[in-house]
Amino acid sequence: MEISKITSPNEWSYFAKGSANILFKYIGSNDYLRHKLLRLRLSKLDEEYISTCELYDFIELKCKHLFPKHIIDIQLVVLTSDFVNRLDSKGHKLMVKERYGLLLPNILNGNYKQINLSKNCQLYHDEDDSGSISSVIFEIKPKWLYDNISSNYCRTCSLNQFKQFKRHFCPLDLLYTETIDEGLKDLFSSIPKQTLDKIENVNKIPLFKLFQIYLNNENNVFLKLKQYQKINNKNDLIKNLTNSNDVSTNLSLVMTLRDVGLFIKFEKYDKFNNCHNSHNNINNLIEIDRFGKFLITCNIYDLDLKSKMKYKHWLKIENDLKDIYNSNNPNWRHCIRIKSEMNGVIESNI
């Protein structure tokens, strides 16, 4: 579909950007495009650039079968130079030679209030004029998920310390039954008390309990990500990379999965909502005594195939972190260690 045939650039407004992509929100009156986002590539050096077509094929052929119910819907659309040049990118330089973009749903469409909990975690909740809340969304980047067997700090916590971020939660705590509650307490600790009270007590959404139930389900997305992030070949260990040709197809996939984002949505069940009653959501309904039914859904986004040229960046980061992995920070408790090595090659000291 050539997007310029059904819409014009002035119907798209700047929404957000990352290191490689920029998002535009549809503000026109076309029913098909309403609640959609347009994702375009930012300008990059040719040697580091991966085209939108390559990204689309990577998601469709390499990722979707791994997460058939989780990956956010995407559609490939054709661009023209005129359309791209007339978009208001707020000064951000686009890859003007790119002839394709991605159309995707706006998960945050509606009247959502945003609370930044930490660098890799945001909270959103809707609220109508009467103060009623019916849905809450966590946006989380879980980063590296693996069984830590030898270091004091996992890779994610080590990197956060290196960047001098304040401790929020360790993603490894969300993987194990014995640490889920502690991980959630850390996660929820940054939510303003007034906001959490409004969600849980005033609007009767047992958010902590719902998240707890989700994490104790063996099919939850964190465990799936851990499964497919696993390194099974010592040649794929970052410390063993010497040039871009050493970066295997599997390592490219693993590094992509180590940088995805998640939208985890908790909402009150609405018996009149066709989406809530759809076949796809039958197994996502949770009923809690005295609170009623709730729908829990999860979407994975930012499945960007990593350029093999990033191996230099990966090596630099691991060199930066080597003195942190087994350090002792009085303001940062140690991450959970798994005593026995599981199947596969464990990157505990990468």
State whether 241 and 211 are in the same domain: yes
**Which ranges of the chain have pLDDT less than 70?**
340-350
Q: Is residue 306 assigned to a domain?
A: yes
The whole domain housing 162 covers 112-321
Q: How many domains does the chain have?
A: 2
Q: What is the pLDDT of residue 271?
A: 87
Asked whether residue 202 falls in the same domain as residue 303, the answer is yes
Instruction: Give the pLDDT of residue 74.
Output: 95
pLDDT at 149: 94
What pLDDT, on a 0 to 100 scale, did the predictor assign at position 49?
86
Q: What pLDDT score was predicted for residue 340?
A: 56
Residues 64 and 189 in one domain: no
Both 277 and 293 in one domain: the answer is yes
Give the pLDDT confidence score for residue 83 in this predicted structure.
94
Give yes or no: residues 211 and 284 share one domain.
yes
CA–CA separation, 258 vs 299, rounded Å? 15
Residue 350 inside a domain? The answer is no
Tell whether 170 is covered by a domain: yes
Please classify residue 8 by burial: count the beta carbons closer than 10 Å to its beta carbon, then call 0-12 exposed, 13-18 middle and 19+ buried: exposed
Task: Report the Cα 295 to chain-centroid distance in Å.
Answer: 19
pLDDT at 345: 47
- The pTM (predicted TM-score) of the whole model is 0.92
The answer to whether residue 330 sits within a structural domain is no
| Angle subtended by helix axes 311-321 and 155-162, to nearest 10 | 80
Q: What is the CATH number of the domain that holds 53?
A: 3.30.200.110
Give yes or no: residues 70 and 122 share one domain: no
| Structure confidence at residue 1 (pLDDT) | 87
- In tens, the pLDDT along 37-90 reads 999 999 887 777 899 999 999 999 999 999 998 999 999 999 999 999 999 999
Separation between Cα atoms, residue 154 and residue 326, nearest integer Å: 9
332: in domain: no
